[in-house]
């Protein structure tokens, strides 16, 4: 059952990928602000940028907006930073169309969430990803987040998917280190944390990085944590994890993502904070708690100093 795999095949996506917000102004996508976000991540040295995932509010973007955001990010990135475009759907034909568009636009890879709401069984999940991977010549990162989709992608299914050449990585947000350990042992997929609070523990059992909400505001700190762990400076990595943990936890628990991260970016002067219904802004005690968390890690102070 447990066989050691060959070297991992999605290491081009190792490190810190930002699950990028989609900025809005007066109800519309703010493409100028989107381009500024790309520039900021290039300046910060972020490894990869993932537009139009859950954090990018893909459920409330029209199909035209979804494609235009991918195209705008790829065009403005201009090879300066890796782009992993969100192309998932609960409809296989729609996911295929989005993934085909991302490949044509020049994205470096596709992040595809498992089908949600319709809750296919494991064979349906396998066939969904396999059909798209076999039709589109683009590296695919499978996104497993059963808390959103209602179905875990079981290790046996991911082991089958790993046999498809261009399925190269998994964003793991099941919350199970046992599952991560099995994937590290049984597959050659690159394993990326889908939960900022579990990135360091996942590195310890075989992870290679994170697709991060927190990276919207603190990519360099996350990179330092990962590099410290990989270089054997475990105490340093642990100290960074413990400093960032309260903020990372609140970004995912004060309200549904991306409500807290957009509020944080507004407090830092980096976004309008606008959301689309049915999401509503963070307010009252929750907003004040978030402000305190930003102060505790020095982000508000750095923003005020212009850093």
Q: pLDDT of 227-277, one tens digit each?
A: 999 999 999 999 999 999 999 999 999 999 999 999 999 999 999 999 999
* Neighbouring-strand partners of residue 193: 172, 210
pLDDT, average across residues 8-21: 97
Contact residues for 249 (Cβ-Cβ < 8 A; gap 6+): 197
Domain count, the chain: 1
pLDDT, average across residues 20-43: 98
Tokens describing residue 298: 């020095």
In terms of Cα–Cα distance, which of 140, 207, 187, 196 is closest to 167? 140
Tell me the Cα Rg of the chain.
Answer: 18
**What is the predicted pLDDT for the residue at 7?**
79
Instruction: Find the CATH number of the domain harbouring 46.
Output: 3.20.20.70
The answer as to whether 146 is a domain residue is yes
* Neighbouring-strand partners of residue 25: 28
The answer as to whether 54 is a domain residue is yes
Q: Are 33 and 20 in contact (CB under 8 A)?
A: no
Q: C-alpha dihedral over 194, 197, 203, 204, to 10 degrees? A: -140
In terms of Cα–Cα distance, which of 276, 153, 262, 159 is closest to 213? 262
**What is the predicted pLDDT for the residue at 160?**
98
In terms of Cα–Cα distance, which of 3, 8, 54, 1 is closest to 211? 54
pLDDT band at 306 (very low <50, low <70, confident <90, very high): low
| Confidence (pTM) | 0.95
**Per-residue model confidence as pLDDT tens digits over 79-130:** 999 999 999 999 999 999 999 999 999 999 999 999 999 999 999 999 999 9
> Is 171 known to be catalytic?
yes
Q: How far apart are CA 31 and CA 248, in angstroms?
A: 27
| Residue ranges making up the domain that contains 54 | 11-233
The answer as to whether 182 is a domain residue is yes
> Is 116 known to be catalytic?
no
The answer as to whether 225 is a domain residue is yes
Percent of the chain residues past pLDDT 90, beyond the cut: 95
The answer as to whether 268 is a domain residue is no
Tell me which of 116, 126, 143, 229 is the catalytic residue: 143
Mean pLDDT, all residues of the chain: 96
The answer as to whether 89 is a domain residue is yes
Q: How far is CA 129 from CA 85, 167, 296, in A?
A: 15, 8, 42
Tell me which of 9, 116, 126, 171 is the catalytic residue: 171
The answer as to whether 246 is a domain residue is no
The answer as to whether 163 is a domain residue is yes
Reduced to 3 states (helix: H, G, I; strand: E, B; else coil), residue 15 is strand
Tokens describing residue 270: 């980096």
């Amino acid at each position: 059952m447990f066989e050691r795999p060959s070297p991992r095949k999605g290491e081009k996506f190792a490190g810190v990928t930002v699950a990028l917000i989609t900025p809005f102004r007066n109800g519309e996508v703010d493409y100028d602000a989107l381009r500024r976000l790309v520039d900021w991540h290039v300046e910060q040295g972020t490894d990869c940028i993932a537009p139009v995932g859950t954090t990018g509010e893909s459920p409330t973007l029209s199909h035209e907006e979804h494609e235009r955001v991918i195209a705008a990010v790829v065009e403005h990135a201009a090879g300066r930073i890796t782009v992993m475009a969100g192309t998932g759907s609960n409809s296989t034909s729609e996911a295929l169309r989005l993934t085909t568009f991302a490949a044509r636009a020049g994205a470096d890879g596709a992040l595809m969430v498992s089908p949600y709401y319709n809750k296919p069984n494991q064979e349906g999940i396998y066939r969904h990803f396999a059909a798209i991977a076999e039709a589109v010549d683009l590296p695919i990162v499978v996104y497993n987040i059963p808390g959103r989709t209602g179905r875990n992608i079981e290790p046996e299914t991911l082991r089958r998917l790993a046999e498809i050449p261009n399925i190269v990585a998994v964003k793991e947000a099941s919350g199970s280190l046992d599952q991560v350990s099995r994937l590290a042992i049984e597959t050659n997929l690159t394993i990326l944390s889908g939960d900022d609070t579990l990135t360091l523990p996942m590195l310890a059992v075989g992870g290679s990085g994170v697709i991060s909400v927190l990276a919207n505001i603190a990519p360099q700190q996350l990179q330092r944590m990962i590099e410290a762990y990989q270089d054997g400076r475990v105490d340093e990595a642990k100290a960074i994890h413990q400093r960032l943990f309260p903020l990372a936890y609140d970004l995912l628990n004060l309200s549904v993502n991306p409500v807290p991260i957009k509020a944080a970016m507004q407090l830092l002067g980096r976004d309008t904070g606008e959301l689309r219904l049915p999401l509503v802004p963070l307010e009252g005690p929750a907003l004040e708690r978030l402000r305190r968390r930003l102060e505790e890690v020095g982000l508000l102070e750095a923003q005020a100093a212009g850093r």
